[in-house]
């Protein structure tokens, strides 16, 4: 559904001063990383309560850490796709562009985005659940589960269900959403809170909301425009549209 003609949206987007891009697992799908809630997503094969909660880690640290080490290896092998690269390239138009991501794969950083807020943490660093010591995922001890010298176990620096989001990142994300005039939501089912609430925050602040997703989401009806398709195709195509309005013939 689109309240404004796509051309009018592109024209308004091209004139924006403060842009925020809010991303979820869908943007990394074309890099070969699984989403969570799609028909073939991670939660169709695994139960979140067995893997993505502090209780699961306490119950079966070997299973949980092995699963996350495998996910880290997949993220490390993956390459940013055309969608990530298109977003990074928007910094030439919007120098204060902020990418607010729910993803833990670091593909936005690796595609050149310079201001990335990771609301759900990262697979790339781990911390000891007992003493808090930090380790790069690539330098974890060999034992499974990976053991710290203090006798504790390393866990990924991600945010599990029931855990609070990193406060500084979330506060800054909310502030950026409040003052954004363009808010582009890419590849998220917009079902996990409090991250999904940022869409409402941006809308309340008056931002133009654009959604990029091959499927309808709870947000679709509230967006000024929906680019219905995969991010790796839609974002480069939309970039060319915006470019046209930035440099009129
Ligand atoms: C494409 C595409 C292509 C496909 N191109 N698109 C209010 C109401 C109800 C519940 C709650 C609430 N407030 C809090 C809760 C509880 C809970 C929650 O939200 N539950 C709901 C799910 C019901 N939230 C929490 O527990 C949060 N913490 C919290 O609230 O703390 C406060 C507190 C503490 C203590 C007590 C009480 C309160 C923490 C949430 C942490 C989420 N963690 C995960 C795992 C991270 C680690 C890991 O990677 O394993 O984060 S869950 C998972 O979901 C992951 C994601 O970041 C997150 C969002 O998923 P995302 O990115 O939207 O992916 P999908 O798969 O859902 O969607 C993919 C989309 O892409 C689809 O739409 C596709 O169509 C699309 N797509 N291909 C573009 N090529
Ligand atoms: Zn320790």
* Stretch 227-247: mean pLDDT: 94
* pTM score over 0.95: yes
| Tens of pLDDT, residues 117-143 | 999 999 999 999 999 999 999 999 999
* Stretch 81-95: mean pLDDT: 97
Cα 101 from chain centre: 3
State yes or no: pLDDT of 218 exceeds 60.
yes
State yes or no: pLDDT of 39 exceeds 90.
yes
Closest CA to 176 of 8, 4, 16, 15: 16
Return the bridge partners of 101, or none: 23, 118
CA 185 → CA 44, 167, 242, distances in Å? 23, 21, 16
Class of domain 1-33+80-120+164-249: alpha beta
What pLDDT, on a 0 to 100 scale, did the predictor assign at position 211? Answer: 97
Could you tell me the pLDDT band of residue 203, with boundaries at 50, 70 and 90? very high
> How far apart are the CA of 144 and the centre of ligand 2, in A?
15
What pLDDT, on a 0 to 100 scale, did the predictor assign at position 1? Answer: 42
DSSP H or E segment with residue 122: strand 121-128
* Probe target for ligand 1 pocket from 74, 121, 193, 229, with the most ligand atoms within 8 Å of CB: 193
Helix, strand, or coil (residue 31): helix
> How far apart are the CA of 131 and the centre of ligand 2, in A?
4
Could you tell me the pLDDT band of residue 6, with boundaries at 50, 70 and 90? confident
Helix, strand, or coil (residue 118): strand
For CATH 3.40.50.1220, list the domain ranges present in the chain. Answer: 1-33+80-120+164-249
Ligand 1 site, residue 152, Cβ cutoff 6 A? no
120 is catalytic: yes
For CATH 3.30.1600.10, list the domain ranges present in the chain. Answer: 35-77+123-158
d(CA 37, CA 23): 15
> How far apart are the CA of 35 and the centre of ligand 1, in A?
10
CA 89 → CA 43, 233, 240, distances in Å? 32, 15, 11
Superfamily of domain 35-77+123-158: SIR2/SIRT2 'Small Domain' (3.30.1600.10)
* Tokens 């074309």, located at residue: 30
């Amino acid at each position: 559904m689109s309240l404004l003609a796509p051309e009018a949206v592109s024209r308004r987007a091209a004139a924006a001063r403060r842009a925020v891009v809010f991303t979820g697992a869908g943007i990394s799908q074309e890099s070969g990383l699984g989403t969570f809630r799609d028909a073939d997503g991670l939660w169709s094969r695994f139960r979140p309560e067995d893997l993505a909660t502090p209780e699961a880690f306490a119950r079966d640290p070997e299973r949980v850490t092995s699963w996350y080490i495998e996910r880290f290896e997949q993220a490390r092998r993956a390459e940013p796709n055309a969608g990530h690269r298109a977003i990074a390239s928007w910094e030439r138009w919007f120098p204060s562009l902020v990418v607010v991501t729910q993803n833990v794969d670091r593909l936005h950083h690796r595609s050149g985005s310079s201001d990335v807020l990771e609301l759900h943490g990262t697979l790339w660093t781990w911390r000891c659940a007992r003493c808090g010591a930090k380790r790069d995922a690539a330098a974890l001890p060999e034992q499974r589960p990976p053991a710290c010298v203090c006798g504790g176990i390393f866990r990924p620096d991600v945010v599990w269900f029931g855990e609070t989001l990193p406060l500084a990142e979330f506060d800054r994300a909310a502030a950026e959403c409040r003052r954004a005039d363009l808010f582009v939501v890419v590849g998220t089912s917009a079902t996990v809170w409090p991250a999904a609430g940022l869409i409402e925050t941006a809308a309340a602040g008056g931002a133009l909301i654009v959604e990029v997703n091959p499927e309808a989401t709870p947000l679709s009806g509230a967006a000024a425009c929906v680019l219905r398709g995969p991010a790796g195709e839609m974002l480069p195509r939309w970039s060319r549209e915006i470019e046209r309005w930035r440099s009129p013939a």
